[in-house]
Amino acid sequence: MSTKILIADKFPEQYLDELKNLDVEVENSPKLGEKDLEEAAKGAAILVVRSTIVNETTINNANNLKVIIRAGAGVNNIAIPAASAKGVSVANCPGKNSVAVAELAIGLMVSLDRKIPDNVNEFRSGKWNKAEYSKAEGLKGKTLGVVGVGNIGKEVAKRATAFDMKVYGYDIVRLDDVQLEYVDTIKEILPKCDVISIHLPANEKTKGIFNKELFSLMKPNAFIINTSRAGVINEDAMLEAIKEKNIRVALDVFNDEPEAKTGEVTSSLTSNPNVYIT
């Protein structure tokens, strides 16, 4: 009986082909959600996910499961205590998507500055408003604060420098090979910066760290980008800052993000003109 690998998120075709050339059974089911996995993973020895949640029930139901691989940096979407209790190994791939996430963060900065999504949306609705969308200030000369200078944060800093941005960074560990100026605290970095880019892990120390106090320290009209974990931002405090300081926000993660890969979404953020979500 060959080893079964279940891939429950999008996976590059070339690597699927490489796996299929091995003496293993590969099931590629990128549309599986958290609840689907509870049944689908039963026969798998190896489970590969990206953002899909692997809960305790999935792990307990999967009698053949030996390894769970997160094709990304963190493992906060995997029930680690349940895996440990059952002797299932958990692995991740830190750094492998660093450039992709950094490029997204830079793209979101440009989008916020030039209001590209709004411009395209109005054009598709038959509205021409070049006067409004020619008002971008540009990123050159702006100040960027990178909160979390790990594999992704340092790639963001490198690209921001190419845009002639002044870059500050905050992290509990300081890397030597990064093109930025470190500050000692998050509170110190926020008033300095026109743009904040968050690259923090999800843990007890970072949960809700961007709260009312931190948002109050940001410049009026500043941009904030979060491509890390939804839980690091208190969304009520964020919405208040949008209202009071006209902060503009771009998020690749948000609270109560739909489990399904496609479908409808209901969120207090969908109608807010100061929020872009990918």
What would the pLDDT profile of 116-142 be if each residue is shown by its tens digit?
A: 999 999 999 999 999 999 989 999 999
Residues 132 and 217 in one domain: yes
Q: Give the confidence band of 260 by pLDDT, cuts at 50, 70, 90.
A: confident
Please tell me the distance from the alpha carbon of residue 182 to that of residue 187, in angstroms, as a whole number: 13
Residues 58 and 117 in one domain: no
For residues 207-226, give the mean pLDDT: 97
What is the number of domains present in the chain? 2
| Number of other CB atoms surrounding residue 157 within 10 Å | 24
Domain that holds residue 83: 3-92
Q: Which of 92, 117, 140 is the last residue of a domain?
A: 92
Residue 273: which CATH number? 3.40.50.720
Residues 47 and 146 in one domain: no
Please tell me the distance from the alpha carbon of residue 96 to that of residue 256, in angstroms, as a whole number: 26
Would the pLDDT of 92 be above 90?
yes
DSSP string of 190-214, one letter each residue? GGG-SEEEE----STTTTT-B-HHH
Handedness of CA 258, 264, 268, 273 (dihedral sign): positive
Residues 81 and 138 in one domain: no
Would the pLDDT of 110 be above 80?
yes
For residues 78-87, give the mean pLDDT: 96
> Hunting for tokens 């979407």 — which residue is that?
77
pLDDT confidence of residue 76: 86
pTM, 2 dp: 0.84
